[in-house]
Each structure stands twice: as structure tokens, then as C-alpha cells.
Amino acid sequence: MKKRERFGSRFAVIAAMAGSAVGLGNIWRFPYVLGQYGGAAFILVYIAASLLVALPIFFAESVIGRRSGRDTYGAMQLLAPGTAWKWAGLLTILSPLLILSYYSVVGGWSVEFLFKSLSFTFTENASEAEVSGYFGHFISSTWQPILSHTLFMTMVAGVVLGGVKNGIERFSKVAMPLLFVLILFIVGYSLTLPGSRAGVEYLVKPDFSRLNADAYAAALGQAFFSLSLGVGTVLTYASYVKKEENLVVSGVGTAVSDLLFAMIAAFAVMPAVFAAGIEPGSGPGLVFQTLPYIFNKMSQAMPITSALVSIAFFLTILAAALTSAISMLEVGVAYLVDEKGMERRKATLLLAFGTWLLGVLCSLSFGPLAHIKLLGLSFFDFLDALCSNWLLPLGGVLFTLFVGWRMSKADVRDELTNGGTCNVRLFGLVYFLMRYLAPIGIVVVFLSNLFL
């Protein structure tokens, strides 16, 4: 078998893992979920969920991935041969592809909005009504969003074709730092808007009366989505991590970058939402409706600056979405290459095409196919609910049970402490969280999704 590729350095590992974690989940999903559950108090619950439940699962996936050095299915076959665990492996090859199909549609929206910014559509002589109505008009049309979705998927496949080191690593190392710079720039801009103070207060003054049981489930679901957990992404990337790398350090590095980025994104978006007088709980269109409105308003006073900021903003979203989407595709590609001996090129094209096709249905479900409902939801909403509420937590619970209860404690210790050379003191705590707290936390989310 051809020698498996490895990430070149610790920075490369964190850039790729954080690249997967930081994405539309932070910039598009976090602000609107936060808006639906009432601001600062939700943030506190989200931080707790990320550190106490999500991070241990991140470690669990890392352990399986690096221990086996294989794709999700191969890992289960190697570490628990001949058992039903292989189904966990197969499930987590399927779920990231399902996510990718609708994620690519939203990625396509960012492509479209970037083009619109580049052609000054939001900033030059457009009326307020045109700009704020643009999102609804665009997503419900037939061809345009499919075209953007196609462009997005082509870019994703292009990077994955390049392989781990030349494609994923190289792209992430440039895109991630750039992303931080761009988003900080936008925060600065957003905070200067008249009326933005209310948005800042919304983010820092907790109002616990708005936290209901639903909010806890939403916070955990968001933490899962945001850290790319339960779908084999972390596992697959960890299989490319060298033996001497410290898994706890790269896990914490990734989780902290992801949290930090979500917070920064909230400070970029919420003040603008308040300045625009838009309802923070207004749902998935929040970012795409608020920002163009703001850019349009500002262009009356500062045409050039607002055009540049608008370009920077949608470029940021696009770059973040790409590094995440790449990681979703890589899970399936790794499987076909490792287990089926398929060429990387063929595997990438095959899976990209399949998910693209499913994505077309998601895209059409905002327009011509809007009347088709599955369990009362449009196709897009159905897939999102299926993945975020069910498949991610299910995958997560399987991985942590595998590490906590199926693998031997000695093996887990060996992997997390690099044979007893690091994190020795921390191990007990991490193991406890993986074995008890994380699975229990997830089961609570499951049950609350079922009964609330």
C-alpha cells in the first residue's frame, strides 16, 4: 500500500483541524442560533457545552484516528475486527456527505454574495428595499443558486484532489490566518456603526430568564456542528497526525480557535443586526440579510470603504466554508482510497458529484420544490435537522463509547500521553470526561430532542 500522507507540522495540524471547525457554523449558524435563544446567557451555556462535552469527544475521535491511522471504517475494522462497530464507521462516512450536500448550497450563497460585492450591487445606487429583499429573491430562484452551489463544490473538489499536504494543508495554512485578520477588521467596522451598542450589550449582559430546556440542546448541537464532531472528520484528520504530535494540545488549540472565532463572529454580526434594526431571532437568513443592508447604508457616506468591507466579509465566509467543506469530502475520499484502493482523483470526483446532485435538491427546495415536505420540513431543513439533531450526536456518542468502553485504557493512555511522555497528570480527567460526562451529555440532548 502507498505510504499514507501526514501533516507536516503542529501548525499544519491545528490549521487544518481549525480549518474544518471554523466555518459557516461560526459565522452563519452561531449568530442566528444565539439570536434565537437570547444572547449572552446562551453563550455561557455554549462555552460549557464546548469544553465539557464536545472537547472530550474531540479527543476520543483523535485517539481512534491516530491509533489506527485509517479512515473511519478502516479504523473500526482494525481496532475492533469482526464487530458491529464497522457500522459506526460506515455511518460516519455517510453523514459528512449528507452535511456537505446542503452546506455546499450555503457555501454557494457566499459565492454569490461575493460576486455581488465585487460588482458593487449592494453598495452602488441600490435602494434599501432591493438590497434587503435580495436574499429571498436569490435563494428562491432556480438556476442562480444551483450555479453558485456548483462553483463552490468545484472549488472543494479542487483542493481535495491536491491531497493532504499539497491541497488541504497548504490551503488551510494560508486561509486560516487570513480569516482571523479579515474578521477582526469587520468587528472594528461593525462596532463603529450607530446603534451597535445595543448589540454589544446583547452579547455581554446575560438574561437567564430566556434560557429554556431547548436552549441547552441547541447549545450542544451547535458545539457539535461547530467542532465538526461525530462525523468522522476529526478522526480522519487525526489519522494524518504524526505520532510525536501532542493530541491534547492540538485538540485544545482547535477548540479554543473555534470558540474564539465564534465569539468574534458574533461581535461582527450582532452589533450590525441591532444597528440595522433587524430582529436577532429571525433565523438562517440573518447574516445574509443584515450585512448587505449595512454595507448599503454605509456606502452613502463611504462608498469605497463599504465596498471593500463587503468584499472582505464575503471572502471570509467563503474561505471559512471551503476549509470545512473540504474536511467533509475528505472523510469519504479517505475511505475509498484506503479501503477500496481507488485512486484519489476518481474517489474525489465520484463523491463530489454525488453530493452535488443531492445539493441541487436542497437548493431547489427554497424555490420550485418548496412545496415538497418531509415530516413537515423542506428538503434542506430536513437534512439539516437530520444531521445536526441526530447523526452528529449519534456519531459522537458512538465514538466516545468506543474509546471509553471498548478500547483498553492502556491504549487510550498511550495515545493521549504519547507513551507516557506528556499530559500524564491530565489523563485521568480527560478519561473521565470521555467515559462518563460526554456520553451522558449527548444522551440528554437526544432525549430532549425527542421529548421537548
Q: How far is the CB of 383 from ligand PHE (least distance, A)?
A: 13
Cβ pair 91, 391 in contact under 8 A: yes
Smaller CB distance to ligand PHE: residue 25 or 39? 25
Q: Is 24 in the site for ligand PHE (CB under 6 A)?
A: yes
CB nearer to ligand PHE: pick between 145 and 395: 395
Give the shortest CB-255-to-ligand PHE separation in angstroms.
11
Smallest gap, in angstroms, from Cβ of residue 355 to ligand PHE? 13
Q: How far is the CB of 327 from ligand PHE (least distance, A)?
A: 5
Count residues near ligand PHE (CB under 6 A): 16
In the stretch 156-195, what mask flags binding to ligand PHE with x, by CB under 6 A?
----------------------------------------
The residue from 228, 348, 355, 417 that contacts ligand PHE (CB under 6 A) is: 228
Distances (CA, A) of 164 to 170, 238, 240, 331, 359: 8, 12, 8, 12, 25
Helix axes 55-68, 72-79, angle to 10 degrees: 70
Helices 286-299 and 128-139 pack at an angle, to 10 degrees, of 150
Site for ligand PHE in 74-103 (CB under 6 A): 96, 99
Region of 119-127, 228-236, 269-277, 353-361 interacting with ligand PHE (CB under 6 A): 228-236
Instruction: By CB under 6 A, tell whether 23 contacts ligand PHE.
Output: yes
Only segment of 24-32, 177-185, 191-199, 427-435 that touches ligand PHE (CB under 6 A): 24-32
Closest approach, Cβ 162 to ligand PHE, in A, equals 18
Shortest distance in whole angstroms from residue 226 CB to ligand PHE: 4
Identify the residue among 218, 231, 317, 383 touching ligand PHE (CB under 6 A): 231
The number of residues in the chain equals: 452
Shortest CB 173 distance to ligand PHE, Å: 18
Please identify, using beta-carbon distances, which residue of 299 and 388 lies nearer to ligand PHE.
388
Q: Which of 226, 289, 310, 449 forms a contact with ligand PHE (CB under 6 A)?
A: 226
Closest CA to 236 of 176, 164, 165: 164
Q: Which of 328, 358, 397, 401 binds ligand PHE (CB under 6 A)?
A: 328
Smallest distance from ligand PHE to CB 358, Å: 16
Closest distance to ligand PHE from the beta carbon of 48 (Å): 18
Contacting ligand PHE within 109-128 (CB under 6 A): none
**Closest residue to ligand PHE: CB criterion:** 25
Nearest to 292 by CA among 29, 34, 114, 106: 114
For ligand PHE, the closer CB: 43 or 276: 43
Per CB under 6 A, residues contacting ligand PHE are 20-21, 23-26, 96, 99, 225-226, 228, 231, 233, 324, 327-328
